[in-house]
A and B are shown apart, each in its own frame.
Chain A
Amino acid sequence: MLEILNSFQGLVNGFGIAFTLTNLAFALIGALLGTVVGILPGLGPSATIALLLPISFQIGSPVTSIIMMAGIFYGAMYGGSTTSILVNIPGEAASVVTCIDGYQMALKGRAGPALGIAAIGSFIAGTIGVIGLTFVAPPLAEFAIQFGPPEYFSLTLLGLMMATLLSGTSILKGLIMVALGLLLGAVGLDPISGEVRFTWGLLMLQEGIDFVTLAMGLFGIGEILYNLEKELTTELVTRKISHLWPTLIDWAESRWAVIRGSIIGFFIGILPGGGALISSLVSYGLEKRISKHPEAFGKGAIQGVAGPESANNSAASASFIPLLTLGIPGNPAIAMIFAALLIQGVQPGPFLISEHPDVFWGVVASMYIGNVMLLILNLPLVGIWVQLLRVPYAILAPVIVLFCCIGVYSIRNTVFDIWVMGVFGVIGYLFRKVDLEPGPLILAFVMGPILERALRQSLLISAGSPLIFFKRPIAGSLIGFLLLFILVQIIVTVRKR
């Protein structure tokens, strides 16, 4: 009971922080940017937040810059559906499923209700997700305070494995990406002894590979090079969008899909690697299975838009929980916010809520406000954003590349980093060609130092016995859960054959 009261108290203080003029302004900027990058195909929230990392100091205090970056992340979930519905291209990865029925609705002249239910569902789900975040995060952080190095090792390992196995590509490929990410994270000075590793004698590599440089290369440049191959054209299915408010029948048909999507999204979003994409896929599958008219799916069923669009929004809010309570980022966009917190000198982890209550509650409160802003931006004003789709990719692509170059340059004022980014851009392009998902790599890169420090400290505590990970109750249960999870995956894979 006391915990719930504390959460309310924190939330009230948070609203005090979020309602200052600066923070409201940056929440709005975040929501606007999020909507824009959500709508524009080929530029996702991860790359956008990465672009802003070098200038996060100029933006202002930790809470202000995180409010904006969070806004970009959940704002993109709103924007993504617009492109899916009108162009049949996902504006953002988590909106892939929305293409199926959303585009069909648009072809039948029902683009308005499709956009409307997507925005309303997103709003309801986003708010439910934030309410969950408000009340789940504090007790979870309290619990995690007792974690030592062995617990952290088990937890990060579990997080990484789940992120890999849930990321959608083959398990082997996912694991290879994790190993590569961990190795890249080892470049530079060793955190414990101070020796240099893998620098090839290059002084510029001593500080390690910068997170922003890696992320912009793999996500920004890699994506653009890949898109250059296939000449993206965005053709709108309709110019006229009317009847944005769903009719009573539409609402009756989709309200339970919204609620179910919200709940599914929240629980999948908490899991590392779960994130927005998986939750929307699961929601679509569920809606189709329990529908009385499964044959309508794929032909413009409104539930096929309402469920997944709700799920990805509540998952986006929920994925802040592992970041802010355990210090473990579960998806690439959250990994960017993890990096942003570090840049601002705020250590994500169980102590974040108690040591930086202003950051935690300020950001959480701003998410309630941001969802209201996004509902307004995406419902009455959707017509303005649709115009964005007329900007040809031919102009967009070089501008994004320039943004990446300046962003990377500004971190250390050296051209060397542009070269590094270019190299990772080519690697990212080749990854996409051979169907390797860069997400697990970036997560492993971020978690690598945590994982390694925890592993080596644990082995120092136990005098070299790996049994320490099994003997301690929490670490042991986490490892047990991990083994169980892997076992289930193997059984599923074998069954399929």
Chain B
Amino acid sequence: MGTFRHPGVGFLPFALSIILIALSLALIISRWKKETPSTPFWSRRSWLRPLLGVVILGLYALVIEKLGFPLTTLIFLLVWMGVIERIHWLKMVSISIGVTLVLYLIFGFFLEVPVPMGFFK
């Protein structure tokens, strides 16, 4: 951590942690007596869609290197629009294929980002 004379690696983080604790306590105390807000933190089922979004994102990260970018992206779009948004299936499929193609053209082809190809190599 070091001293004032020779501030070390832990100097700033330590000081910051103390400040952070103090600030958090101050925030808790300042809110203690106030009424709780009238709108609930999570109204009924409002947490569901964000949660689904996070889960789909996690699955995407999990399989992208195995299945490759084009296939994973297609599945991602289908699952996202199908599970979270419930769009008409024909529209959903055509949009998914179109977006996947465009994204692959932009990143894999035009910008030459080394996207994972999985077993499409």
| Given A195-B9, A415-B65, A419-B61, CB of A225 within 8 Å of CB of B50 | yes
B12 to chain A: closest residue by CB: A452
From B6, B41, B115, contact of A433 by CB (8 A):
B41
Counting CB contacts under 8 A, is A17 at the interface?
Answer: no
Complexed CA–CA distance, A224 and B16 (Å)? 30
**A399: shortest Cβ distance to chain B, in Å?**
6
Inter-chain contact B30/A228, CB cutoff 8 Å: no
Inter-chain contact B3/A55, CB cutoff 8 Å: no
From A172, A198, A230, contact of B23 by CB (8 A):
A172
**A235: shortest Cβ distance to chain B, in Å?**
17
| Given A225-B50, A426-B54, A463-B5, CB of A406 within 8 Å of CB of B113 | yes
Complexed CA–CA distance, A225 and B12 (Å)? 33
**B96: shortest Cβ distance to chain A, in Å?**
9
Q: Number of A-B pairs whose CB atoms are under 8 Å?
A: 136
Interface of chain B, helix or strand or loop or mixed?
helix
Residue pairs across A and B with Cβ atoms less than 8 A apart, 13 shown, are A176-B24, A179-B16, A183-B16, A183-B20, A198-B13, A395-B95, A402-B77, A409-B64, A410-B113, A418-B60, A425-B54, A433-B41, A459-B7
B25-75 interface (Cβ within 8 A of A): 26-27, 30, 41, 46-47, 49-50, 52-54, 57-58, 60-61, 64-65, 69, 73
Q: Closest 7 interchain pairs by CB?
A: A464-B5, A394-B85, A464-B4, A398-B80, A225-B50, A228-B49, A418-B61
Contacts of B105 in A (CB 8 A): none
Inter-chain contact B9/A455, CB cutoff 8 Å: no
A444 to chain B: closest residue by CB: B16
Interface size class for chain B? 35 or more
Complexed CA–CA distance, A419 and B81 (Å)? 21
Inter-chain contact B20/A176, CB cutoff 8 Å: yes
Inter-chain contact A405/B9, CB cutoff 8 Å: no
Counting CB contacts under 8 A, is B101 at the interface?
Answer: no
Contacts of A413 in B (CB 8 A): 114
Inter-chain contact B24/A228, CB cutoff 8 Å: no
How many chain A residues touch B (Cβ–Cβ < 8 Å)?
55
Q: A58-B112, A395-B81, A419-B58 are in contact. List 11 more A-B contacts (CB 8 A).
A: A175-B23, A179-B23, A186-B13, A193-B9, A224-B53, A401-B53, A402-B73, A402-B103, A419-B61, A422-B57, A465-B4
**A285: shortest Cβ distance to chain B, in Å?**
26
Inter-chain contact B107/A410, CB cutoff 8 Å: yes
Inter-chain contact A459/B12, CB cutoff 8 Å: no
Contacts of A402 in B (CB 8 A): 73, 76-77, 99, 103
| Given A182-B16, A183-B16, A466-B4, CB of A415 within 8 Å of CB of B46 | no
A221 to chain B: closest residue by CB: B57
Contacts of A426 in B (CB 8 A): 54
Contacts of B19 in A (CB 8 A): 175, 179
Complexed CA–CA distance, A260 and B107 (Å)? 44
Complexed CA–CA distance, A197 and B1 (Å)? 11
Contacts of A455 in B (CB 8 A): 7, 12
Inter-chain contact B17/A405, CB cutoff 8 Å: no
Complexed CA–CA distance, A230 and B47 (Å)? 10
Inter-chain contact A173/B27, CB cutoff 8 Å: yes
Counting CB contacts under 8 A, is A485 at the interface?
Answer: no
**B72: shortest Cβ distance to chain A, in Å?**
9
Contacts of B17 in A (CB 8 A): 183
**B121: shortest Cβ distance to chain A, in Å?**
15
Counting CB contacts under 8 A, is B89 at the interface?
Answer: no
Counting CB contacts under 8 A, is B11 at the interface?
Answer: yes
Complexed CA–CA distance, A415 and B57 (Å)? 12
| Given A229-B49, A229-B50, CB of A55 within 8 Å of CB of B5 | no
Counting CB contacts under 8 A, is A226 at the interface?
Answer: yes
Contacts of B115 in A (CB 8 A): 406, 409-410
Complexed CA–CA distance, A335 and B13 (Å)? 22
Complexed CA–CA distance, A221 and B52 (Å)? 13
Contacts of B20 in A (CB 8 A): 176, 179-180, 183
**B42: shortest Cβ distance to chain A, in Å?**
8
Counting CB contacts under 8 A, is A429 at the interface?
Answer: yes
Contacts of A176 in B (CB 8 A): 20, 23-24, 27
Complex interface bits, B81-102 against A, C-beta within 8 A gives 1, otherwise 0: 1001101000000010001000
